[in-house]
């Protein structure tokens, strides 16, 4: 029997979440890293407040030509083996304290490079939210509880496109599992697969989902492989040597 979509929390704080201890990067499941490359880019549209209830997934996705990512706020939840998962566009006023706390976990800070006062994270979010919609920062809610930070972006419109043979509407993913209790138990790969499949379902013009974790971040690369991505190449980006990972629409039922 499928899970019933939960009520979505409207607050930006996870109730009862333990204080973040000093993290062990080797234990992190899919901590992606990108901040030096993306900071200062003009990116995403203003966010939409979290709805009181989860809206149903659109059965027939229709491209929105005025929105580079076809309306993430309307994508709805995905049913996963871990429960209902929902991407909700971030709101600085509501979510800054939580996301900044996650970014200051040493396991995240090593690769995201957004540790420090809240203003560091605020500026990173604001650069996307003040842009044209090509990158959208999101909270990931599992059974209604905020537990991860995501960035969904148009890889073909990103500086990344200079480093690989980009195709129109390639869509990129960044993921940070924020809650320490959610790391090291396979959730990274599970949620990466769910979100990649959600992108392909809701963006019919997109044939590939792209990721570029640091080649040194073995847990992250492993999570993408578990999620059905294939390793395509290594790429020398501005601040890292990346593993270019690709999930193809044509192979999504095979990998």
Each residue's pLDDT tens digit, 170-201? 999 999 999 888 998 999 999 999 999 999 99
> In whole angstroms, what is the distance from residue 206 CA to residue 169 CA?
5
The CA dihedral of 213, 219, 221, 224, to the nearest 10 degrees, is -110
Closest to 190 measured CA to CA, from 77, 29, 75: 29
- Two tokens at 179? 């809650």
pLDDT of residue 189: 97
Predicted structure pTM score: 0.79
Distance (Å) of CA 253 to CA 24, 169, 196, 249: 34, 20, 12, 8
Note the helical H segments in 80-214.
Answer: 92-103, 106-112, 118-129, 187-202
- The yes-or-no verdict on residue 216 having pLDDT over 70 is yes
- Two tokens at 253? 């039922």
How high does pLDDT run on average in the chain? 81
| pLDDT bracket for residue 224 (50, 70, 90) | very high
Each residue's pLDDT tens digit, 31-56? 554 544 443 333 333 333 333 333 33
DSSP state of 245: E
Each residue's pLDDT tens digit, 11-24? 333 333 333 333 33
Average pLDDT over residues 126-151: 97
- The yes-or-no verdict on residue 29 having pLDDT over 50 is no
| pLDDT bracket for residue 65 (50, 70, 90) | low
- The yes-or-no verdict on residue 107 having pLDDT over 80 is yes
């Amino acid at each position: 029997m499928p899970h019933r979509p939960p009520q979505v929390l409207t607050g930006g704080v996870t109730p009862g979440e333990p204080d973040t201890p000093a993290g062990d990067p080797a234990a992190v499941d899919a901590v992606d890293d990108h901040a030096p490359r993306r900071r200062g880019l003009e990116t995403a549209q203003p966010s939409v407040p979290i709805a009181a209830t989860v809206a149903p997934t659109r059965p027939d996705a229709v491209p929105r030509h005025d929105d580079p990512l076809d309306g993430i706020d309307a994508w709805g939840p995905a049913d996963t083996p871990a429960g209902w998962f929902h991407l909700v566009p971030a709101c600085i006023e509501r979510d800054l304290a939580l996301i900044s706390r996650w970014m200051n976990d040493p396991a995240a800070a090593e690769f995201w490079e957004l540790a420090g006062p809240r203003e560091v994270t605020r500026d990173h979010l604001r650069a996307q939210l003040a842009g044209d919609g090509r990158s959208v920062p999101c909270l990931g809610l599992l059974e209604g509880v905020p537990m991860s930070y995501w960035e969904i972006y148009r890889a073909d419109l990103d500086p990344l496109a200079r480093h690989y043979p980009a195709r129109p509407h390639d869509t990129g993913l960044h993921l940070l599992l924020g809650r320490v209790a959610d790391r090291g138990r396979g959730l990274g790969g599970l949620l990466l697969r769910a979100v990649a499949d959600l992108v392909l379902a809701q963006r019919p013009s997109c044939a590939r989902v792209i990721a570029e974790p640091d080649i040194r971040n073995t847990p992250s690369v492993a999570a993408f492989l578990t999620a059905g991505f294939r390793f395509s190449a290594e790429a020398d980006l501005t601040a890292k040597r990346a593993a270019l990972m690709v999930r193809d629409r044509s192979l999504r039922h095979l990998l």
